[in-house]
Structure 1
Amino acid sequence: MSREFEQAAPAFGAKGALFGLDIGEKTIGVAVCDPSRMVATPVGTIRRKKFTADAEKLAALAAERNIAGIVIGLPLNMDGSEGPSAQRARAFARNLPRILDLPVAFWDERLSTAAMERDLIAIDTSRAKRAEKIDEMAATFILQGAIDRLRSLTSGASGSSQAQE
């Protein structure tokens, strides 16, 4: 999975804001990072309707924020296999270029929702507020992991080129 991300990552370029998406059956959690890719922040949640309407909302947000690429959480099973949720995320990504032509990479999102749920409980967030925020927080968790990895890939690449000089 990490290898799949690393192969897709160069299409994002060196700078530019990225979206992080947590694709669910009923909602899409959306997060964005700054153009220097240091910090991911939640944007909101899109209530799913039909693919075209969902993708058009994302396209409008992407245009507003000058998005360079999209990281989609891939909900793998704990054994690394792909179930129906992962297939749904892949199908969404496959159809996305019809409406929003940006590079896409998948990020292993195992336990992202559980991690965010724990964090929200730790700060004493009500159950209703957690339900409202969990998808965008999971998208933020996904995107932060991805941009942290992108930075390590970039610093590793520049470190190895400096070593050769």
Structure 2
Amino acid sequence: MFKKLFGNKSTAFNVISPLSGKKVALEEVPDPVFSQKMMGEGVALEPKDGYVFSPLEGTIVQLFPTKHAIGLETKSGAEVLIHIGLETVAMEGEGFEAFVSKGDKVKVGDKLISFDLGLVKEKAKSTLTPIIITNSDEFDVQVVEGVELNAVSTPILSVKKK
């Protein structure tokens, strides 16, 4: 009842690019789990360096032991997965360093993970980094126009609670 009276101001937000690089359509990712949107709606990024920053204000809800992927949740309940490279889990954490832990509160621009881009190019299937809204069935997710991305300044996704 109170939401109807006062509105819910935290239901729409932008996901800011968590790294610098080039935007790639999710459908072009050479992994069907991402390209067929089995994990959810989103976009992929081709990184130009090895730094991942928080793309939003929220809470770290998952940090994989191998540090190749991290999950965040917003106040509106959107769950965002950042998956660095493809088949990077096989690297068993080599070349990855995390700066946050599960339960940490983060804001846009906080450093989350660093990784050795050269090592990922050498050992993984791809450096493409999907950014997915894993509960996108609850949200309207739109990819923001533009190709070249700057970390912590370029919006990549517009997300609104359905």
Question: Shorter-chain TM-score: which interval?
Answer: under 0.3
Bigger radius of gyration among the two: 1
TM-score in terms of structure 2 length: 0.28
Structure (1 or 2) with the greater helix fraction = 1
Q: Structure 1 length as normaliser, TM-score?
A: 0.27
